[in-house]
Structure 1
Amino acid sequence: MASAFTTGSATAVTRDNLESYIAAAERRVTNPSQGIFGPDSITWRVNRESALFLAAGRAALLQLAHPWVATALDQHSSLLAKPIARFHGTFRVVFTMIFGTAPQAFRAARSLYQMHTRIAGQLPSAVAGYAQNSRYEALQVPALLWVYATLIESAVVAYQCVLPPLNPDELASYYAESKILAGLFGLPPEALPTDWNSFETYVADMCASSALGVSDRSRFMAQHIMTGSGSWIQIPRWYQALTTEWLPPRFRDEFALAFGPAEQVSAQRAQRGIPRIYGKLPAFLRYVGPWQEAQARLANRKPGLLMHRINHFWIGQKFMPFS
């Protein structure tokens, strides 16, 4: 039993840690209105695409594969009762960090940290490398790092499903920029893999290790997500199949997800058909609401009703918060 999995107390993020990472990000900002990345960044280019929604289920299930994260979501969130609220909450914070002004991004980071201070508890049962009743805290670095990794990697998976793959230089830039975002999550620089190749190795090693594992409860939660239970949204079968194909085979099995010939054909059809449709989408559908809000801000243009509605889809409200 690896002690780093069960306690992690020495690697918990403090408020002083976070403030030092915010200060480092602030020193990079040349135009606060453009935020911490800006319109010319590859972070904006990747994360503006509404195709990111394609991999939202994948990221969610990979997060549930971490027992700390799954238990925290079960005990401290509305994931089962209000899955759409959970979706909105995640994108509200992440998109504000990416597309908001620099002050908005830093306020979002502090708000996320404050929310995480209230999330702690004990694992109800033994799973993977974790003992029953072992303690978890949302501010422990191993769990934060895994959540960050699922978001960063899944964004690339979705982007490359509908658009030309990023070349090695672009992936290197994307990952280097993502380290700034990691700091706003509270992650120390030394906890991060050094480059994109090291990052991919970290993800692969995690997926093969006892740091991840699926309990009966997390399996139940995953089935809820995959079927849209608790919301008005009926998850299409092709989306379920695509999500399953994008998971490591280990987690298809541990989450008990069907992936027979019918599901494989459905996933393949989706990957062939979606890019053809996606390239023809009008801008107001192709690009996420927070990016459109940022474009209006930089052009000194008042956002319209259509943008408000698109923002409602992505973040559950008219504007990015913390303005």
Structure 2
Amino acid sequence: MDSDDLGLFGPGSVTWKVHGEPILFVAGLRSLYLQALHPRAMAGVAQNSNYRTDAWGRLIRTATYVATTIYGTTAEAEAAGQRLRTLHARMRATDPFTGEEFRVDDPELLRWVHVAEVESFVSTARRAGLALTDAEVDGYYTEQRRAAALVGLSPTEVPGTADEVDDYYRQVRGDLRMTKEAAETALFLTAPPIPWKLSLPARLGVDLGPPRWAYLGIAGTALGLLPAWARRLYGGLGLPTTALSADLSVRALRLALAALPRRYREGPRQQAAKERAARRTAAAG
């Protein structure tokens, strides 16, 4: 294996530019709120996942997978994709309305999750203040077709530009709705259990310490960053954060994160990828 392999993307990609932003943890939460509006996708998660009892563990595993596909070597990214495809291939769920059993790796569901995720990443980064041209946004979507292939999708059937993403959303919106499962998931995402090391002793069983208030602000921002049509589906659920206040909040948070030392802003896979890129540049020079 090439020890300086730069993986599926590399330092010249729009993907590295976007995912170099620590603010994308807000985008990940936004994506989950959006994904919950698809009844079948939500059923697939609810019937095959222990996210309620292991919320933070699942979040860490998802973040690790994304970091591996973005910053890992080609072999690491492909291995991560293979593991995910194998896992999904075993999973089945029941449609909450028709009672029909379906595969979790149904291409339509995989496409929905992929688009909701990548659109959340690039739109959140842009609204937080990352300078991206329209051509770079299109480039990001095109590059992310490589990530779509890892989960088993055909790259040619995944939106590759901003216009194609908009068209896809228009096509799928008729399938989206606020269900009981979506509402319960949104409430859980807004007020998940805080890890015990961060949690303060609660009165009457309710933890309202600083970590809880900080997380509520982040959740409200994520909800406010949703497309207008998605916010309408949620109605008054969640914090009453408008798109404008969400933009202001996410920009302020990005500035605060930028002041942190690099070791807190960049994960180990990102740092390792940058080191490989630097070695390759030095060898070429």
Residue 237 of structure 2 is matched in structure 1 by 257
How far 1:57 moved relative to its partner? Answer: 1.3
Q: Which residue of 252, 257, 277 maps to 2:256? A: 277
- Are 1:182 and 2:148 an aligned pair? yes
Separation in structure 2 between the aligned mates of residue 44 and residue 103 of structure 1, nearest angstrom = 18
Q: CA RMSD of the aligned region, Å?
A: 2.5
Structure 1 residues 266 and 236: CA distance shift in structure 2, 3 A: farther
Residue 41 of structure 1 is matched in structure 2 by 13
Structure 1, gaps ≥5 residues long: 1-29, 127-131, 301-323
Separation in structure 1 between the aligned mates of residue 265 and residue 183 of structure 2, nearest angstrom = 32
Deviation per residue, 1:21-59 (Å, 9 max, x gap) = xxxxxxxxx997211212221111211221101112110
Superposed, 1:23-62 pairs within 5 Å as 33-62=5-34
Separation in structure 1 between the aligned mates of residue 99 and residue 7 of structure 2, nearest angstrom = 42
Give the match's secondary structure for 2:86.
helix
Amino acid at match of 1:143: L
Residue 287 of structure 1 is matched in structure 2 by 266
How far 1:299 moved relative to its partner? Answer: 5.0
- Are 1:172 and 2:131 an aligned pair? no
The sequence identity of aligned pairs, in percent, is 25
Residue 183 of structure 2 is matched in structure 1 by 219
How far 1:161 moved relative to its partner? Answer: 3.1
TM score, norm. by length of structure 2: 0.82
Residue 75 of structure 1 is matched in structure 2 by 47
Deviation per residue, 1:161-191 (Å, 9 max, x gap) = 3333310221122122111111112111332
Structure 1 residues 252 and 122: CA distance shift in structure 2, 3 A: same
Task: Report if aligned partners of 2:23, 2:254 keep a CA contact under 8 Å in 1.
Answer: no
How far 1:102 moved relative to its partner? Answer: 0.8
Task: Report if aligned partners of 1:99, 1:291 keep a CA contact under 8 Å in 2.
Answer: yes
Superposed, 1:1-323 pairs within 5 Å as 33-123=5-95, 125-126=96-97, 132-206=98-172, 208-209=173-174, 211-229=175-193, 231-232=195-196, 234=212, 236-255=215-234, 256-260=236-240, 263-264=241-242, 267=246, 269-298=248-277
Give the match's secondary structure for 2:222.
helix
Structure 1 residues 200 and 229: CA distance shift in structure 2, 3 A: same
Task: Report if aligned partners of 2:94, 2:101 keep a CA contact under 8 Å in 1.
Answer: yes
Give the match's secondary structure for 1:50.
coil
How far 1:212 moved relative to its partner? Answer: 1.6
Separation in structure 2 between the aligned mates of residue 227 and residue 116 of structure 1, nearest angstrom = 28
Structure 1 residues 82 and 269: CA distance shift in structure 2, 3 A: same
Give the match's secondary structure for 2:23.
helix
TM score, norm. by length of structure 1: 0.73
Structure 1 residues 66 and 271: CA distance shift in structure 2, 3 A: same
Q: Runs of 4 or more off by more than 4 Å in structure 1?
A: 230-233, 297-300
How far 1:101 moved relative to its partner? Answer: 0.8
Amino acid at match of 2:64: R
How far 1:204 moved relative to its partner? Answer: 4.0
Structure 2, gaps ≥5 residues long: 197-210, 280-285
Amino acid at match of 2:237: L
Separation in structure 2 between the aligned mates of residue 159 and residue 253 of structure 1, nearest angstrom = 23
Separation in structure 1 between the aligned mates of residue 195 and residue 91 of structure 2, nearest angstrom = 24
Amino acid at match of 2:257: Y
